[in-house]
C-alpha cells in the first residue's frame, strides 16, 4: 500500500465534490491492487479521517481483456470455454447461463437427463463457491489459513468430481447448447451422492467452530449494513440481496431448468450486515445439499444432447435474447444479438459481482479500514468476472 | 406482466409527449422491446419504476450496442410509360440508414416478480450526437454499467453522477467495443526522446573515418 498525504481535490480526476467534515486534509490511501485481501487485482482509493473511511472509489480494469469483444469475434460455441474464465470458481454456472441464453435465442429444447445434470453441477458449484468464500472471508478477518484449508478440503472433493466428469477441475467447459458434453456414469453419481451426504458434517463442524466464534461475531455484526431499498435499486443480487431480507431467487422466480420440481427454501437475512451475508452462504449450502439429495436419485436415463442441434456451423436466427440464472454470486446473465451469422453481433455478460460492487462505498463509509476488507470479502467478487 | 402494448399506452399517457415504439424481436425468444425517445426517457423510467401495477424497481442489465451505417435495398413497383405503353417496372432504391449507438436496459420487478421489460434508447449518430440521458438517478444499478458503456462505446450520459472511464485507462482515446475499432499495433508505444536525442548527439560527433574501399560498397552509384 502506498500512502501519500495530499488534499483530496488534487487526487481526483475529474474533481468530485467532497462532503466531508474536514474539507481539507484527509489521508488518501491506495488499497491494492496487489494485496491478498482484495481477491485479485482490485484497487480502492480510500480517503481516511484517522482510521475511518470517509470516501472510497473502486478502480477497475486491471484484468480487463474485453471478453465481450472477443465473444463477438468467435463463433457461438467458441465462447463456451471462454466463459469458464469469467468467474473461474464457478465455471459450471457460467456455462449454464451462456447455454441458456443461446437456447433462448435459438429455441432449443434440452433433454431431461441433461437438465438434471445441470442442476446437480450448478448446485455442486454453489457448494464449493460458498465454502471457499467463507474460508477466504475468515482469512481476511485474520484467521489465516486454517479455516480456508478446512473449506478447501471440501472444495477439493467437489473439484475431483468435476475433473472426473469434464476432464478439468476449474475450466470445465461442460455444457453445450441443447445439453451437456459427456454423460455421467453411475459410479460418478454414486461418488457425488457420497460427497453430498458427508457435506452437512463439514457444515456442522464449520458453523460450530467458526460462525459462532466470538471474534467473528464482533467483526461482522453491524458492519457494512445495506438497506433493502438501496440493494434493490442498486441491482444487488444473490446472497447479498437476500441477506437484506428481499426474497428474490431466480431459481424460484424464473423457474429455469427443472428447479420448480425440487423443494428447497430460500434463506433470508434480517439486518443486511456482514454477519447475515456470511450466514446466508452457510444456510444456502444446506439448501443446496437438500436439492442435491433430491436430484441425484431422481436422475432419469436418456440422451444428454438434443440431436437436432448442429454445433458445427451453428447459426441462430435473427433476434436477441437475454437469459439469466442464479449463479452463486448473484444474477448472471448473457445478452445476445444475432444477425444470422456464425458470430453473435452483440455478446454481453451481466456480471453479478461487478454490479454488486456498486454499493461498496455506501457500505464502507464510517467504518474502519479493517472493516473494508471484511465488507469487500463478504460481497464475494472474482476479478475475472468484474473486469472481464 | 401486462403486454408491451398496454405498457406503452400507459407510459405515453403518464409522460406527456413521450414517443414510444415497439421494437419487434423476430427471434424465438419472445423478448420484444420498447424504444423510448431520449427527451422523455427519465420520466418514462420513473413511471415504469413507480407505477404500482408495473413496479420495475430492478434494472438488471444495461448495455450498449453499436449499429454501423447500413444500406437496405428496396424494390418497389412503379408505373412507367415505356414506348407509349404503361408498364409496371421494378425499381430498386437503396436506402442508407445512418449508424447509431443504442443503450439497452433489462428491467425486472422484485416486488411483483415479473419481467423482463426491455427498453432501449438510440443516439442521433455515432459521433458528436452520441448522447443519452442517464437513468442512474432512477436505478442506481445503472451507475457502473453506464460508465462502462461510456468507456467502451463512447455514449455520453447526461446526468450521470460520475462519468469516467472504468475499464480502460484514463489516457485511452478510442472506444474499443465499437464495430469499426481498430486496435493499435502496439498498446505500449509511446513517443520516446530517442530519435531527437540521437539527432542532437550527432552534432557532437565528427564523422567516422571511413576505411579504404568502404565507401564504394555503401555509396549509391551515380
Tens digits of per-residue pLDDT, B157-183?
998 888 888 888 887 888 889 888 887
Report which of residues A337 and B27 the model is more confident about: A337
* Lookup: cell for B147: 460508465
Surface of B (76-135) touching A: CB under 8 A: 104, 106, 110, 113, 116, 118
Do A92 and A121 meet the contact criterion of CB atoms below 8 Å apart? yes
**Does B145 contact A333 at a Cβ distance shorter than 8 Å?**
no
- At A4, the pLDDT band (50, 70, 90 cuts) reads very low
pLDDT greater than 80 at residue A205? yes
Per-residue model confidence (pLDDT) at position A146: 85
The sign of the CA dihedral B146, B149, B155, B156 is positive
A104/A112 Cα distance (integer angstroms)? 17
Q: Which chain B residues are within 8 Å of A60, Cβ to Cβ?
A: 166-167
**Does B26 contact A319 at a Cβ distance shorter than 8 Å?**
yes
Question: Which of A100, A233, A309 would you mutate first to test chain B, the one with the most B CBs within 10 A?
Answer: A233
**Does A359 contact B162 at a Cβ distance shorter than 8 Å?**
no
Closest listed residue to residue A47, CA positions, set A4, A88, A79: A4
Find the closest chain B residue to A331 by CA distance: B60
Task: Say which of A69, A230, A355 has its CB closest to residue B176.
Answer: A69
Q: Which helix (H) or strand (E) holds A70?
A: helix A67-73
Write down the pTM of the prediction: 0.84
Q: Which helix (H) or strand (E) holds B92?
A: strand B85-97
pLDDT greater than 80 at residue B211? no
Do A196 and A289 meet the contact criterion of CB atoms below 8 Å apart? yes
Q: Which chain B residues are within 8 Å of A317, Cβ to Cβ?
A: 26-28
For residue range A347-365, list pLDDT tens digits in order. Answer: 999 999 999 999 998 888 8
Q: Which chain B residues are within 8 Å of A248, Cβ to Cβ?
A: 58, 110, 113
Do B100 and B15 meet the contact criterion of CB atoms below 8 Å apart? no
For residue range B1-25, list pLDDT tens digits in order. Answer: 788 888 888 888 888 888 888 888 8
Amino acid at each position: 500500500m502506498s500512502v501519500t498525504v495530499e488534499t483530496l481535490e488534487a487526487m481526483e480526476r475529474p474533481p468530485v465534490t467532497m462532503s466531508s467534515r474536514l474539507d481539507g486534509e484527509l489521508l488518501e490511501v491506495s488499497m491494492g491492487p496487489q494485496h491478498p485481501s482484495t481477491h485479485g487485482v482490485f484497487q480502492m482509493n480510500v480517503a481516511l479521517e484517522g482510521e475511518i473511511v470517509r470516501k472510497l472509489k473502486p478502480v477497475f480494469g486491471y484484468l480487463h481483456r474485453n471478453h465481450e469483444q472477443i465473444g463477438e469475434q468467435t463463433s457461438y460455441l467458441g465462447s463456451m470455454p471462454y466463459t469458464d474464465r469469467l468467474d473461474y470458481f464457478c465455471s459450471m454456472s457460467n456455462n449454464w447461463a451462456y447455454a441458456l441464453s443461446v437456447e433462448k435465442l435459438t429455441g432449443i429444447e434440452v433433454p431431461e437427463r441433461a437438465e438434471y445434470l445441470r442442476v446437480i453441477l450448478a448446485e455442486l458449484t454453489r457448494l464449493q463457491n460458498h465454502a471457499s468464500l467463507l474460508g477466504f472471508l475468515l482469512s481476511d478477518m485474520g484467521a489465516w489459513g486454517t479455516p480456508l484449508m478446512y473449506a478447501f478440503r471440501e472444495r477439493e472433493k467437489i473439484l475431483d468430481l468435476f475433473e472426473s466428469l469434464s476432464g478439468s477441475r476449474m475450466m470445465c467447459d461442460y455444457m453445450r447448447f441443447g445439453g451437456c458434453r459427456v454423460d455421467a456414469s453411475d459410479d460418478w453419481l454414486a461418488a457425488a451422492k457420497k460427497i453430498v451426504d458427508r457435506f452437512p458434517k463439514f457444515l456442522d463442524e464449520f458453523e460450530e467452530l467458526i460462525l459462532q466464534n466470538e471474534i467473528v461475531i464482533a467483526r461482522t455484526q453491524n458492519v457494512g449494513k445495506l438497506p433493502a431499498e438501496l440493494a434493490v435499486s442498486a441491482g444487488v443480487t444473490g446472497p447479498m440481496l437476500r441477506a437484506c431480507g428481499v426474497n428474490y431467487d431466480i431459481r424460484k422466480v424464473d423457474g429455469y431448468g427443472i428447479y420448480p420440481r425440487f423443494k428447497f427454501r430460500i434463506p433470508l437475512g434480517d439486518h443486511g450486515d456482514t454477519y447475515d451475508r456470511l450466514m446466508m452462504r452457510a444456510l444456502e449450502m444446506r439448501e443446496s445439499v437438500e436439492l442435491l439429495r433430491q436430484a441425484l436419485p431422481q436422475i432419469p436415463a436418456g440422451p444428454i444432447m438434443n440431436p437436432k442441434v448442429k454445433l458445427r456451423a451453428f447459426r441462430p436466427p435473427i433476434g436477441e435474447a437475454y437469459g439469466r440464472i442464479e449463479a452463486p454470486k448473484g444474477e448472471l446473465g448473457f445478452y445476445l444479438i444475432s444477425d444470422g451469422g456464425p458470430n453473435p453481433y452483440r455478446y454481453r455478460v451481466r456480471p453479478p459481482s461487478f454490479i454488486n460492487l456498486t454499493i461498496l462505498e455506501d457500505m464502507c463509509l464510517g467504518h474502519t479500514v479493517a472493516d473494508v476488507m471484511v465488507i469487500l470479502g463478504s460481497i464475494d467478487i472474482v476479478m475475472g468476472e468484474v473486469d472481464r | 406482466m401486462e403486454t408491451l402494448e398496454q405498457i406503452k399506452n400507459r407510459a405515453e399517457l403518464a409522460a406527456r409527449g413521450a414517443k414510444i415504439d415497439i421494437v419487434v424481436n423476430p427471434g424465438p425468444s419472445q423478448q420484444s422491446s420498447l424504444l423510448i425517445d431520449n427527451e422523455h426517457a427519465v420520466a418514462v423510467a420513473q413511471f415504469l419504476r413507480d407505477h404500482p401495477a408495473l413496479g420495475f424497481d430492478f434494472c438488471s442489465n444495461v448495455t450498449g450496442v453499436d449499429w454501423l451505417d447500413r444500406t437496405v435495398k428496396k424494390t418497389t413497383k412503379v408505373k412507367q410509360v415505356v414506348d407509349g405503353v404503361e408498364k409496371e417496372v421494378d425499381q430498386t432504391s437503396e436506402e442508407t440508414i445512418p449508424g447509431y449507438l443504442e443503450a439497452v436496459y433489462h428491467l425486472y420487478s422484485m416486488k411483483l416478480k415479473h419481467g423482463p421489460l426491455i427498453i432501449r434508447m438510440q443516439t442521433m449518430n455515432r459521433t458528436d450526437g452520441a448522447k443519452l440521458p442517464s437513468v442512474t438517478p432512477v436505478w442506481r444499478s445503472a451507475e457502473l454499467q453506464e460508465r462502462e458503456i461510456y468507456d467502451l462505446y463512447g455514449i455520453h450520459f447526461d446526468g450521470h453522477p460520475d462519468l469516467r472511464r472504468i475499464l480502460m485507462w484514463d489516457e485511452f482515446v478510442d472506444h474499443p467495443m465499437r464495430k469499426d475499432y481498430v486496435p493499435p499495433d502496439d498498446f505500449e508505444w509511446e513517443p520516446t526522446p530517442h530519435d531527437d536525442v540521437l539527432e542532437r548527439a550527432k552534432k557532437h560527433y565528427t564523422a567516422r573515418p571511413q576505411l579504404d574501399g568502404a565507401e564504394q560498397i555503401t555509396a549509391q552509384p551515380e
